[in-house]
Amino acid sequence: MRATPRASRTTDRPEELPRPTGPIRRFWRAHPWLVDSLLAGGYLVIAAFWALVTPLSSGVWEPIVVVIAPVAGVVLAAVALLFRRRHPWISFSVLIAIAAIASLSDTAVEPFGLAFALYALFVYRSNRSGWIGFAIAATLMVVLLPATSHVIRTGSAPPVTFDPAGSLLLIVLLIAALVGVTVGDRRRYISALLERADQLARERDQQARLATLAERARITREVHDVVAHSLSVMVSLADGAVALAQKDAIRSQDAVREIGDVGRQSLAEMRRLLGALGDEHPDGDPTLLRPNPGVDDLADLFGTFRAARLPVRVETQGNAPSSPALQNAIYRIVQEALTNALRYSREPTDVLVRLDYQSTGTTITVTDDGKAGPAQPSVGSGRGLIGIQERVRLYEGFVETGPRAGGGWRVQAEIPAAKEKE
């Protein structure tokens, strides 16, 4: 019996994944608001200098044009950049609106704020959103707004000339788009890897829990088989010993010795089952971890039930399967069926165990001729027949149980040959 697998602890980040290299990188990743604040603050300084110097260099000295309007636009743009991660489209819309107003007012447009907003679209939304934003910005800022501004100023169609400012803006936006594509793809790829790793970790833990539950159910069936069989035999032997104490002291002593033998055998089986759950042999004795009982151990099993005054008769046909697991299943099915007969059958005179090993499969039939009458009160847990059904179901076989005409009970289990070899 294998040890029960231990379920792994689920974590937010799988243990197999490496941590980001370098403490500085981990610090910036853990504090995104600080990064955005520094970026917005740096942009505020650069953009304010740009917005103030540009009107002054053109000879315009009006306070509204020189100070109030540029500073207000720069502050609004800096605030919009603070939300570029969570709301990139809003940030981009605010920045392009400020750039459009500056362009219509015949003010040089600084390209960096719009570039940061466009970069955020690629990284925090998708490449599709980023290219849509790039097309909007390029068309609006390089083509439509300069032409509209020229028409408003001169009233004539704009000439087809080289515009250095528009070309610079287009180059900066293209660089931001290419960098955003690279960083965004890498970010989404890593995110997909992390999500897949988390999913695999959850599936691994679920499989471990399922294996633990299956192993626990199997051990429960084994313990039930051992305890139910042994206690039923011991109770029957004890009743017989009491009945024979006055009439035949020698036979009474033999029954008491048989109780001790059954108890010791059961204790050894329990130690083997419990010892298989650990890494070491119980009591340092490796013999207690011998293989589970099989077909060769049925003779001793029949002897135990006969000693408990159950008239067991055996008929065998064919050669037993070689699979140890299947042999153990046959042993446990016969053990449980005879235990039920010992418990509930009323004064049986014949309990027949028929083992039919054929090329098409194995058939196990256990019948008794107990007297008809009111059903005996159940003292079991109901796991016996369920255990038989589960063992047979593992081999895709089927079980039939029920009373016989005229009294008695019948248990028949069939295991197909195709599943015996698995």
| Chain segment 27-59, per-residue pLDDT in tens | 777 788 888 888 888 888 887 777 776 655 555
3-state DSSP assignment of residue 260: helix
3-state DSSP assignment of residue 403: strand
**Mean of the per-residue pLDDT values for the chain?**
77
Each residue of 114-138: pLDDT tens digit? 999 999 999 999 999 999 999 999 8
Average pLDDT, stretch 153-181? 78
3-state DSSP assignment of residue 8: coil
pLDDT of residue 23: 76
Q: Which helix (H) or strand (E) holds 336?
A: helix 324-344
Average pLDDT, stretch 281-307? 71
Distances (CA, A) of 192 to 183, 197, 237, 407: 14, 8, 67, 67
Number of H-type helices and E-type strands within the chain: 14, 5
CA dihedral over 235, 239, 242, 248, signed as positive or negative: negative
pLDDT of residue 124: 93
Each residue of 373-421: pLDDT tens digit? 555 554 444 566 777 887 888 888 989 988 888 788 999 999 988 655 4
Average pLDDT, stretch 154-172? 71
CA–CA dist 390, 255 (Å, integer): 34
Neighbouring residues of 360: CB distance < 8 A, sequence distance ≥ 6: 416, 417
**23-32, 91-100, 118-127, 213-222: least confidently modelled range:** 213-222
CA–CA dist 414, 321 (Å, integer): 13
3-state DSSP assignment of residue 364: strand
pLDDT of residue 15: 45
> Of 68, 72, 145, 157, which is closest to residue 105 (Cα–Cα)?
145
Under the banding of pLDDT at 50, 70 and 90, the label for residue 317 is: very high
pLDDT of residue 207: 80
3-state DSSP assignment of residue 318: coil
CA–CA dist 7, 10 (Å, integer): 9
CA–CA dist 303, 62 (Å, integer): 115
* The pairing of beta strand 351-358 with beta strand 312-317: parallel
pLDDT of residue 118: 94
pLDDT of residue 103: 76
Each residue of 235-265: pLDDT tens digit? 677 776 676 666 776 776 777 777 767 766 7
pLDDT of residue 231: 66
With a cut of 50, say whether residue 279 has pLDDT above it.
no
Which phi and psi angles does 364 have, rounded to 5°? -115, 120
> Of 191, 208, 217, 197, which is closest to residue 9 (Cα–Cα)?
208
pLDDT of residue 356: 94
In this structure, are residues 232 and 259 in contact, taking their beta carbons and an 8 Å threshold? no
Average pLDDT, stretch 356-364? 92
- What is the length of the chain? 422
Average pLDDT, stretch 282-289? 48
With a cut of 60, say whether residue 324 has pLDDT above it.
yes
Please count the CA atoms within 13 angstroms of the CA of 319 that sit on its side-chain side. Answer: 4
Average pLDDT, stretch 356-371? 91
With a cut of 60, say whether residue 276 has pLDDT above it.
no
Under the banding of pLDDT at 50, 70 and 90, the label for residue 208 is: confident
pLDDT of residue 2: 38
371-375 long-range contacts (CB < 8 A, ≥24 apart) are 371/346, 371/347, 371/407, 372/406, 372/407, 373/346, 373/407, 375/344
pLDDT of residue 287: 46
CA–CA dist 241, 160 (Å, integer): 119
pLDDT of residue 212: 66
Average pLDDT, stretch 332-361? 89
Average pLDDT, stretch 211-230? 67
